[in-house]
């Protein structure tokens, strides 16, 4: 996703925040903290260690300019995606992830019609819904956090996707992915991995036999990308990297 110190982030900051220079000073570590004054009157504290509330408000306004709307349903905050999806959330940051998935499309735009998606790290199932909307026939998601899992299940029901999306309250590991593929004899698989470091365990143990039907992999890395890219190449993928995302496609 873009950051405050990126060109687009700075544009949004200047457009939405009156004392943008003070907030920028925090992000550049010139100041420790400040109070951000949004041009609509909201004031939000922001510091080097407490910035989620400010980040949420900034991304929310950025998305609203692009047709996203916000409301409350069943007592929970909900964002309405321009493509028709409704996604409830219970914690922040959230709008930054919505932007990353639906606006920036960091996981790519693939022809998923009739394909199976395994989503390792679903947060509140917003990525599962994104892939289902892209045409996936089935989406199997792993989410270890109980609160995120419960909200994810509500989001699946809210969007009438219970026949397409299956969420598991467990960690995404090589073993859990292998067991899933074996249990349902899955083929033509698109694998997305974004689980705060679990990508290293998954790929460290990955073998060509288990991954023979995994045709595409998109993952966000959290440490060094080189070991992941080397392993993917070794087990038969063409690999490229863009910022913190690695894209791998099975060689013909």
Share of the chain above pLDDT 90, in %: 88
Average pLDDT, the chain: 94
- Looking at residue 118, its pLDDT comes to 98
Give the range of the structural domain holding residue 83, as residue numbers without chain letter.
69-101
Q: Do 156 and 169 form a contact (C-beta atoms < 8 A)?
A: no
- Residue closest to 141 by CA, chosen among 182, 114, 170: 170
Q: Are residues 92 and 25 in the same domain?
A: no
Location of structure tokens 């959330």: 89
> Same domain, yes or no, for 238 and 114?
yes
Same domain? For 157 and 209 the reply is yes
Q: Is there a single domain that holds both residue 168 and residue 201? A: yes
Question: Given this model, what pLDDT does residue 3 score?
Answer: 64
Q: What is the b/e burial string over 127-139, where b = at least 16 CB atoms within 10 angstroms of the residue's CB? A: bbbbbbbbebebb
Tokens coding 173: 């590991």
Number of compact structural domains in the chain: 3
Residue holding tokens 């200047």? 14
pLDDT tens string 140-193: 999 999 999 999 999 999 999 999 999 999 999 999 999 999 999 999 999 999
Whether 127 and 223 map to the same domain: the answer is yes
Q: How far apart are CA 117 and CA 191, in angstroms?
A: 6
Report the candidate in 181, 178, 223, 166 with the shortest Cα–Cα distance to residue 199. Answer: 223
42 and 73 fall within a common domain: no
Q: Return contacts of 177-183, CB within 8 angstroms, 24+ apart.
A: 177/118, 177/120, 177/142, 177/202, 177/210, 178/210, 180/118, 180/140, 181/118, 181/210, 181/213, 181/214
pLDDT in tens, 73-108: 989 999 999 999 999 999 888 999 999 999 999 998
Within-domain flag for 183: yes
Question: Which whole number is the average pLDDT over 33-43?
Answer: 97
129 lies in the same domain as 236: yes
* % residues pLDDT > 70 (the chain): 98
Same domain (yes/no): 86, 110: no
Q: Does residue 64 lie within any of the structural domains?
A: no
Structure token pair of residue 237: 């993928």
1: in domain: no
Residue 192 counted as domain residue: yes
Residue 97 shares a structural domain with residue 113? no
Shared domain check, 220 and 196: yes
pLDDT of residue 5: 62
CB 202 within 8 A of CB 177: yes
């Amino acid at each position: 996703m873009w950051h405050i110190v990126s060109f687009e982030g700075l544009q949004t900051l200047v457009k939405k925040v009156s004392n943008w220079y003070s907030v920028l000073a925090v992000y550049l570590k010139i100041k420790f903290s400040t109070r951000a004054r949004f041009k609509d009157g909201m004031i939000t504290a922001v510091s080097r260690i407490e910035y989620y509330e400010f980040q949420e408000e900034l991304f929310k306004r950025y998305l609203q300019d692009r047709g996203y709307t916000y409301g409350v349903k069943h007592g929970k905050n909900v964002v309405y995606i321009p493509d028709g999806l409704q996604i409830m959330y219970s914690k922040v940051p959230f709008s930054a992830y919505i932007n990353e998935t639906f606006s920036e499309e960091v996981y790519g735009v693939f022809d998923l019609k009739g394909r199976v998606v395994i989503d390792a790290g679903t947060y509140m199932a917003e990525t599962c819904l994104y892939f289902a909307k892209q045409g996936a026939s089935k989406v199997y998601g792993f989410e270890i956090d109980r609160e995120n899992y419960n909200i994810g299940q509500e989001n699946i029901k809210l969007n009438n996707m219970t026949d397409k999306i299956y969420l598991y309250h467990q960690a995404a590991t090589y073993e859990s992915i292998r067991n899933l593929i074996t249990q349902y004899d899955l083929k033509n698989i698109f694998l997305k991995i974004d689980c705060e470091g679990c990508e290293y365990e998954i790929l460290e143990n990955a073998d060509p036999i288990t991954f023979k039907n995994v045709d595409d992999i998109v993952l966000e890395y959290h440490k060094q990308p080189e070991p992941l890219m080397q392993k993917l190449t070794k087990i038969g993928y063409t690999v490229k990297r863009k910022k913190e995302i690695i894209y791998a496609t099975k060689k013909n």
